[in-house]
Each structure stands twice: as C-alpha cells, then as structure tokens.
Amino acid sequence: MGIISKAGIQPEANPFALPQRADVVIVGAGIMGCATAYYLAKRGIKSVVLDKSRIAGQQSTRAWGFVRQQGRDPSEMPLAIASNRLWLGLEEELQTDLGWRQGGCLYIGHDAAQMARYGACLETSRQHEIDTRLLSADEVRALVPGFETPLIGGLFTPSDGQAEPRLVAPAFARRAAELGARFIAGCGLTGIEVAGGKIVAARTEQGEIRSDHIICTAGAASWRVLRSLGIFLPQHQVRGTVARTSAGPSVSAVACIGGGIGWRQRSDGSFNLANDARVDVDITLGHLRALEWYMGPLLEHYRSFNFKLNGAFLTDIRQRLPASETQNNGPVVGVRDPLLPANDADIRVCLARLKKALPSQRNVQIVERWAGGIDVLPDGIPVLDAPATPSGLMIATGFCGHGFALGPIVGKTLADWLTTGQPPMNVHDLRLSRYAEGDIKPPHSLF
Ligand SMILES: Cc1cc2nc3c(=O)[nH]c(=O)nc-3n(C[C@H](O)[C@H](O)[C@H](O)COP(=O)(O)OP(=O)(O)OC[C@H]3O[C@@H](n4cnc5c(N)ncnc54)[C@H](O)[C@@H]3O)c2cc1C
C-alpha cells in the first residue's frame, strides 16, 4: 500500500521498522502487557508492546483458567473484586468469545483442617462483602453431582468463574492493535536509558525507542529487566503442569479444587486438569539468588513443592558459558522462549484422581498437556507499582500463579494510573519498596 499524492504513489514508511518514539513502551506481551495496551489505547495513548518471544506465549496462555476472588490474600482482594466486575462484561467489551462461564469457584473440604482454612478465607470474603459461603457435604454434592471422593463440606463463591487463557490475552492484543497499539514479537528489551532520574528510552534488540514511560510486565523475567536498573526483585519461577482431556458427560460449571486436583469443565465437556497444590521446582544455581527470601515460606509450604535435580541444572550451567543463548541474547533477555516440559507422571495421577472422584468421566483421556513457568515472590502477592525513581517506570509482575484473573483490572489500573498520576485504588501493600523495607508478610500461598 502507498499514499496517493500529486506526485503519484509514495511508498509508506516501512511498517516493520521500529518506531523511534512511543507514548509508552510495554515490556512483555502476556495478559498484563496486552490488557494495559488495550486500556491505554482506549484513552488514546498508543503504546509499543515488545515481546522477546511471542505475543502471549508464556504463562498467560498456559493457566488453568480460574477467575476467582475466593481464597485471595487480603492485599489482593480489592483487585480481584474489581477484576471480577470487568470479567462480567469482557466478552462484550472485546467483542469476542473468551470461554467465560460464571459457574463459581468451589474448594472441596476433605478434612477438618481444610475446612478451618476455608473458614479463614470466608472471613476475608465477608470483610470485602463478596458472596462466598461455606457448604455442607450435601450442598457440595448438589453442585458436583456424582463426586465420590469422601468430603465433609466446601467453600463456594458463586460470582467467580472461568475463562479460556488461550483466548484472553490475544483478544486484548487484537483490540489494542485495532486502536493503535503496536506489537513487536521477537524483540526483547535489552536496557533502559535514564537521564536526570527519568526514563528517556528503551533499548531493544532492534534499536532504541525514545519514551518517557516504560511498563515492565515481563512475567518471570521481570527481575532481569529491573536488575538492569539496579533494582533487586526476589523473583523466582516454579513449573506448573496442566492437561486438557477429551470431552466427557457434563457435570458442573464450577472451577473446582477437590479430590487432589484442580479442574474445570468447559461447555464442550473437556476438562482442564492439574495437581491441586503441587508444582515442580527444577533446582538450578539461579535459585541461590534471593534464596534467603524463600527459606521461611519454603519450610512452611514444603508439601507444595516437588524439588527436582534434573536436566535444568545442567542447562542453567550451560547458559552461563560463552556462546550460550543467554550470553548471546544478553542478561536482560536471557532465554527467549523457555519451553518447560510437562510432568507426565503427575498428569497420569491427576487423570486417575479425576476418574476416581467423578466415575462418570471414566472414558475421558488426556489430549494435550503443557507446563508453564509461574513467577513467584516470597510473600505470595505481586508488585504493582510506579516507583518514584526512575520516574516513568511502572511495574506489574510476580502474580504467583493467580494473575490470569487479575489481568483485566491490572491493565485498567496501570492505564488509569499513567493518565492521572494516581493509582485508582489503594495498592500500597503491592509496592516494590516493601522488600527493601523488609515489610513483607508470610505468604497466603506461594503460587
Ligand atoms: C500452569 C499455570 C496455571 C495458572 N493458573 C491460573 C489460574 O487458574 N488463574 C489465575 O488467575 N492465574 C493462573 N496462573 C497465573 C497466570 O497465568 C499469571 O499470573 C499471568 O498470566 C501472568 O501474566 P504476565 O503478563 O505477568 O506474564 P506472562 O504471560 O508470562 O508474560 C510475560 C511476557 O514477557 C516477555 N518478556 C520477558 N522478558 C522480556 C524482555 N526482556 N523483553 C521483551 N519481552 C520480555 C515474555 O516473553 C512473556 O511473553 C497460572 C499460571 C501457570 C503457569
């Protein structure tokens, strides 16, 4: 295409060239980056969204798909509630199917200790006036007919729901692009230029973009981006495996944790299935970084972690040698598209647990499985902040395995904050400086 003028057809500027200037540069095109680009574009602010690998190629398209307020850390609850309101109208807002089902979130209680924990969650929900309630065993069975694993009750929030992770971040990206945002895949941020305490430019693998604003939504690699500014973030990564089954008889629209598994059934009858409370930790030398921040939480939550000394250890050492991918890409980009292996043994166990809990599903089979690198912080809550220095930097990262549900409100919050200079809600507990101040609480859960 070209522009028609008196002189004939003028070639357009190369549409693939990196823009020299942007209102905002967003680093990372997961759900946080894509939603932020969308809400900024709605306000007429055109961002450039960089991703070192693919648009929505990491956590945001690998999640279970639970959209819950239930069981949140009190510091996250206002965000979760505000996000829930956005989810209700999101398919209409983005003009596309997101697989949204408001079937509620159910945690099944198999013993008194679990029910006591759910009682504490109920208290948090009550303080925030959401519709969570404790259920009797019969009420649970009415919600999940045919559930046979022994149980004594449950915790249920009818206003919670589920959505399809593979649809949501790409839908935000599509609508943002239609409104003027520019997405550049395969282009990592390599550094940030600061002058007089202010952000002035993003350095990328394809050149420099001048901008007064950079938003770091780089998921599990955010610590690398921030380290380039001399900012320490005690962020690590664990590996979560998920599977999709073939379609089975329709049981329930709840997003459920019970019987040793986390599962949700789509309207086509297929399940998303995962271990309810266990992830893999592939031990590497990288874990020495920030280890001291995790000693307490790890001891308390050790049952949730399956520590593995496997090929990841050697891979990590190789990445430290000359000519490795990390050395070639540089320390901010690191490995471009980390492909994590699914835990097949765990998935077999989960499938057996599903069939035991729901005998009606005896014929379903695993049709697909994948793993995702969950970014964790030692206090189990994210960083959502616009630190005073350097001015122009915003950060949304460390969502500890529950950021998919928060994506819409995080994007909207950052867009409001950037345009008004003030956060639209109190996010003090999620400030970055809590680590430097040593003001962190024990985690509600680490992922
Ligand atoms: C197995 C699993 C199950 C989960 N289940 C749920 C759930 O049921 N409900 C829920 O609410 N949450 C869930 N989560 C958590 C949720 O998926 C995440 O919290 C959320 O997707 C984080 O989004 P993000 O945009 O911060 O990160 P990501 O989606 O990981 O995106 C970060 C992007 O940054 C890019 N990037 C990194 N460094 C650079 C650089 N230097 N330059 C340019 N780009 C860069 C990466 O390539 C990546 O695309 C789950 C996560 C996993 C892995």
pLDDT per residue as tens digits for the range 159-202: 999 999 999 999 999 999 999 999 999 999 999 999 999 999 99
442 within some domain = no
Looking up tokens 């980056």 gives 33
Nearest C-alpha neighbor of 248 from the set 140, 360, 81: 360
The pLDDT of residue 8 is 39
Tell me the backbone φ, ψ of residue 285, rounded to 5 degrees. Answer: -65, -25
Instruction: Locate 250 and state its tokens.
Output: 């329709």
> Tens of pLDDT along 371-403?
999 999 999 999 999 999 999 999 999 999 999
* Nearest ligand 1 atom, CA 375: 19
Kindly list the distances between the CA atom of residue 97 and the CA atoms of 29, 104, 142, 164, in Å, as whole numbers in the listed order.
20, 19, 29, 9
Residue 78 has pLDDT above 60, yes or no: yes
133 within some domain = yes
CATH of the domain at 358: 3.50.50.60
* Nearest ligand 1 atom, CA 218: 34
Establish whether residue 103 lines the binding site of ligand 1, counting it when its CB lies within 6 angstroms of any ligand atom.
Answer: no
Give me the domain span that covers residue 204: 20-437
> Tens of pLDDT along 259-273?
999 999 999 999 999
- 337 neighbors 187 (Cβ within 8 angstroms): no
Residues 6+ apart with CB under 8 A from 68: 80, 105, 157, 160, 255, 402, 405
Residues 6+ apart with CB under 8 A from 329: 52, 188, 205, 335, 336
Domain count, the chain: 1
Rounded distance, CA 188 to CA 289, Å?
A: 23
447 within some domain = no
211 within some domain = yes
Establish whether residue 294 lines the binding site of ligand 1, counting it when its CB lies within 6 angstroms of any ligand atom.
Answer: no
Ramachandran area for residue 185 (φ above 0: left; ψ -120 to 50: alpha; else beta): beta
298 within some domain = yes
11 within some domain = no
1 within some domain = no
Rounded distance, CA 154 to CA 252, Å?
A: 15
Establish whether residue 61 lines the binding site of ligand 1, counting it when its CB lies within 6 angstroms of any ligand atom.
Answer: no
The pTM of the full predicted model, rounded to 2 decimals, is 0.95
192 within some domain = yes
Q: Which secondary-structure segment (H or E) carries 375?
A: strand 366-376
Among protein residues, the one with the nearest Cα to ligand 1's atom 14 is: 401
The pLDDT of residue 433 is 97
